[in-house]
């Protein structure tokens, strides 16, 4: 049996394991409707996510050149999040092939975890709802008062808790934020092109490892050329 190149894998969640974009877009559009703005498209939603939904909403309003007072923004953000908390998995689903891959990785004995910039409560809920049969050693989203990706803080926290060296870890994601996280931590990375960033952007990152399918991802995990 082939052995993974690393002892542990941390996955980004949105755009990597799970296609969450339609539910995120629906939540954005609740906020936009309150301002009389047109709905955001899937393509535009993909462009602004990756650094937390608070930051994403600010970026989306900037796209429309629609500044709001801080108090109004807070209201819009909470309106968006109230909707998302109630509809976090209406349309979201694991990407095709991800569940069998996770099954095989678990059987190989590799330590698996999830690290997201989505708010921690939502990260936990989505993982439990859509990936319930997996015993992830670590599931962490954005926690107030602690650094977010691309800071290496959560990578170091995972390694400390699991007793692995950062050199024994691979971080798998779909964006420049995930690439920068791995670079900052000093661990290996794999980027998937089926997520929220165009393949060309991922390939332009220096030394990036980019795969197009789950089969290619598995080959990269096991070092199959």
218, 190 Cβ separation under 8 angstroms: no
Q: What are phi and psi of 41, to 5 degrees?
A: -85, 165
Kindly provide the b/e burial profile for residues 46-78, where b requires at least 16 CB atoms within 10 angstroms of the residue's own CB.
bbbbbbbbbebbbebbeeeeeeeeeeebeebbe
Can you give the pLDDT at residue 1?
53
Can you give the pLDDT at residue 50?
82
Residue pLDDT, tens place only, 75-125: 999 999 999 999 999 999 999 999 999 999 999 999 999 999 999 999 999
**H helices, E strands: number in the chain:** 10, 8
Q: Which one is the CATH code of 21-86: 1.10.150, 1.10.20, 1.10.600, 1.10.3470?
A: 1.10.150
Distance of alpha carbon 95 from alpha carbon 92, whole angstroms: 9
Average pLDDT over residues 51-68: 91
- The domain ranges of the chain are 8-19+92-222, 21-86
14, 49 Cβ separation under 8 angstroms: yes
Q: Which one is the CATH code of 8-19+92-222: 3.20.20.140, 3.40.50.2000, 3.40.50.1000, 3.30.70.920?
A: 3.40.50.1000
pTM value > 0.75: yes
Can you give the pLDDT at residue 225?
52
Residue 2 has pLDDT above 80, yes or no: no
Residue 129 has pLDDT above 80, yes or no: yes
Residue 208 has pLDDT above 90, yes or no: yes
């Amino acid at each position: 049996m082939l052995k993974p190149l690393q002892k542990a894998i941390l996955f980004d969640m949105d755009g990597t394991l799970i296609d969450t974009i339609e539910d995120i877009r629906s939540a954005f559009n609740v906020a936009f409707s309150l301002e009389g703005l047109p709905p955001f498209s899937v393509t535009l939603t993909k462009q602004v996510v990756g650094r937390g939904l608070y930051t994403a909403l600010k970026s989306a309003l900037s796209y429309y050149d629609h500044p709001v007072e801080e108090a109004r923004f807070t209201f819009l953000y909470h309106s968006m999040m109230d909707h998302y908390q109630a509809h976090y998995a209406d349309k979201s689903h694991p990407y095709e092939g991800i569940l069998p891959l996770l099954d095989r990785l678990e059987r190989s004995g590799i330590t698996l975890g999830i690290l997201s910039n989505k708010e921690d409560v939502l990260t936990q809920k989505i993982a439990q709802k859509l990936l319930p049969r997996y015993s992830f050693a670590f599931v962490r989203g954005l926690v107030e008062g602690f650094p977010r990706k691309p800071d290496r803080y959560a990578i170091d926290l995972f390694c400390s808790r699991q007793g692995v060296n950062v050199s024994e870890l691979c971080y798998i994601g779909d964006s420049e934020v995930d690439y920068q996280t791995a670079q900052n931590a000093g661990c290996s990375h794999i980027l998937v092109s089926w997520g929220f960033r165009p393949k060309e952007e991922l390939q332009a990152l220096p030394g990036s490892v980019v795969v197009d399918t789950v089969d290619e991802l598995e080959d990269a995990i096991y070092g199959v050329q």
